[in-house]
Amino acid sequence: MIGLFDSGIGGLTVVRELLRQAPDASFVYLGDTARTPYGNKSKETIERYSLENAAFLLSHGATSIVIACNTASALAVDALRKAYPTVPIFEVITPAVEDALAATHGRVGVIATRATIGSGIYQAKLKEARSWKLEAGKGKQGLFIQAIACPLFVPLVEEGWLNDDETKRIARRYLSSLRQTHVDTLILGCTHYPLLAPIIQRFMGKQTMLVDSAASVIRRVLASGEIDRRGEQKYFLTDLSTRSTEIARTWLAREIVFALASVSA
């Protein structure tokens, strides 16, 4: 069984992609809504929260872990792999970087939250992976990387303003420099952002390929064979609210019943 966790409800876009690619997959999802957001927490706190989340998922039958959160992927994956060396652990950053490098002609854009952009994780992994490809004789010289923080995208998505004029204006303001520099590949570096993909694609144009980190990581999970097809699907939040249920219903196009989870040590 696949276990997925996020700092809140954004990771439901990863669940949505899992359901799209493997509707009968068994999984357990945990959204840490009581302690969100993670982006303003220290590395030590994010590691502790992530370890507690993973322990909860494993106690509920998970045999692999998907970190459906960019911040936790950036800061806690090493701690999780050290704590659970025999458990397959997937994060959302590396698969997106790999897919972007496979697609790009040398001009990559990244959009994410301030915390993720500020961490430099995407920029570092793009350069690291690109260097490896160059050494192997598989790449092209001159990788251009432009990273832009788009902090208002998350509240717009959670408000359900996916095609509003206000959202289009904000997207235009955030993305203008990426369009001007002619990036040919754009990583959606936050799990909320795929829901704004139609607006982003229209503004950037068909010449820019969007890389959805949710789709990238789920392809890796399914390719690994870490999946069972019994269709057992469970949803937990650390704080329950009507709004979370409404968002889940809209994003997943199905009725979701969340159970309350207690994950603190």
DSSP E strand stretches across the chain: 2-6, 27-31, 64-67, 89-91, 107-112, 144-149, 185-188, 209-212, 233-237, 259-260
pLDDT value, residue 141: 55
Summary mean pLDDT of the chain = 91
Active-site choice (15, 54, 69, 89): 69
69 is catalytic: yes
Lowest-confidence region among 6-20, 35-49, 95-109, 185-199 = 35-49
What is the tens place of the pLDDT at every residue in 171-191?
A: 999 999 999 999 999 999 998
DSSP reduced 3-state for 45: helix
pLDDT value, residue 204: 96
Q: What percent of the chain has pLDDT over 90?
A: 69
pLDDT value, residue 258: 95
Q: Is 223 exposed, middle or buried (0-12, 13-18, 19+ CB in 10 A)?
A: exposed
The whole-angstrom separation of Cα 263 and Cα 259 is 13
Q: 130 falls in which pLDDT band (50, 70, 90)?
A: low
Give the highest mean pLDDT range of 112-116, 135-139, 159-163, 235-239: 235-239
150 is catalytic: no
pLDDT value, residue 119: 86
pLDDT value, residue 133: 57
CA atoms lying within 13 Å on the CB side of residue 237 = 20
Give 92's DSSP letter.
S
What is the tens place of the pLDDT at every residue in 196-232?
A: 999 999 999 999 999 999 999 999 999 988 788 888 9
pLDDT value, residue 136: 46
Active-site choice (54, 77, 89, 190): 190
Q: Is the pLDDT assigned to residue 265 strictly greater than 80? A: no
The whole-angstrom separation of Cα 24 and Cα 233 is 9
Domains and CATH numbers, the chain: 2-91+216-260 (3.40.50.1860), 94-213 (3.40.50.1860)
pLDDT value, residue 228: 85
pLDDT value, residue 196: 94
What is the tens place of the pLDDT at every residue in 46-79?
A: 999 999 999 999 999 999 999 999 889 988 999 9
